[in-house]
Amino acid sequence: MKKVAYIRTSTGKQTLGIEVQKDALKAYQPTHWFIEQVSGRKENREQLNKALDILEEGDTLIVYKLDRLGRSTKQLVNLISQLEDNGIHLNIVTEGIDTSTATGKLIFTILSAVAEMEASLISERTKQALAVSENKGGRPRLDNTTKVKVLEMYQKQVYTVKQMAIKLNISESSIYRILRKFKYKNNKG
């Protein structure tokens, strides 16, 4: 049975954080180590993915704290479900949770249920707010006048994209989207 240690800090400047986690996890005698310095909000983390790829039924993933696995409730609930579905144990050192024991499973299940309930409540509040709001979500549609202004300003080559965005009160990505669409149509015609 493998014991896979996963260590994460948010930035490269947090080397002390890595050392603290390493020292705490050494007591669990991991057979594999995966360390990365990336935001916990990032969904696709290379080292976490590698750690998850080598884990098999009966193996254990060891982390210093639950938030090392992810920052959002949705992320944690999905990851926890994935581990449980594959028969992989989770050991969270600072919280004293070990899902290979009956008590650890109970505590973990309760934490997961609370996290799932929190995610559901957020979803309900969002749906209620959208139901009474004129804004139904998504980005606002740009009118044709704004699109024409973008193309005219671009063709004059007087403004940078950033200046155009400020003048027209739209995002730079909207300008790039309009330009791509315009160029695509010209290439077709």
Statement to judge: residues 111 and 158 lie in one domain: no
Q: Is 98 left (phi over 0), alpha (psi -120 to 50) or beta?
A: beta
Residue 115, domain member (yes or no):
yes
pLDDT in tens, the chain (189 residues): 999 999 998 876 666 688 999 999 999 999 999 999 887 777 788 999 999 999 999 999 999 988 888 777 677 778 888 898 999 999 999 988 898 888 887 887 787 677 677 777 888 888 888 788 776 666 677 888 999 999 988 888 888 999 999 999 998 988 998 988 877 454 333
> Would you say 60 and 87 are in contact if contact means Cβ atoms under 8 Å apart?
no
Statement to judge: residues 13 and 101 lie in one domain: yes
Statement to judge: residues 97 and 169 lie in one domain: no
Statement to judge: residues 182 and 90 lie in one domain: no
Residues 6 or more apart whose CB falls under 8 angstroms from that of 2 comprise 31, 32, 54, 55, 56, 59, 60
Catalytic residue from among 10, 39, 72, 173: 10
Statement to judge: residues 32 and 65 lie in one domain: yes
> Would you say 40 and 8 are in contact if contact means Cβ atoms under 8 Å apart?
yes
> Would you say 182 and 151 are in contact if contact means Cβ atoms under 8 Å apart?
yes
Statement to judge: residues 91 and 148 lie in one domain: no
Statement to judge: residues 160 and 107 lie in one domain: no
Last residue of a domain, one of 77, 94, 124: 124
> Would you say 41 and 12 are in contact if contact means Cβ atoms under 8 Å apart?
no
Statement to judge: residues 181 and 110 lie in one domain: no
Write out the residue range of the structural domain in which residue 148 sits: 144-188
Catalytic: 39?
Answer: no
Residue 90, domain member (yes or no):
yes
pLDDT at position 127: 84
Statement to judge: residues 32 and 83 lie in one domain: yes
Residue 25, domain member (yes or no):
yes
How far, in Å, are 46, 49, 104, 123, 133 from residue 31 at the CA level?
19, 17, 22, 40, 53
Give strand pairing partners of 63. Answer: 6, 92
Residue 138, domain member (yes or no):
no
CATH number of the domain where residue 153 is located: 1.10.10
Statement to judge: residues 168 and 84 lie in one domain: no
Number of domains in the chain: 2
Percentage helix, strand, coil, to 5, in the chain? Answer: 55, 10, 30
Last residue of a domain, one of 92, 124, 156: 124
Statement to judge: residues 55 and 96 lie in one domain: yes
Statement to judge: residues 32 and 118 lie in one domain: yes
CATH number of the domain where residue 101 is located: 3.40.50.1390
Residue 133, domain member (yes or no):
no
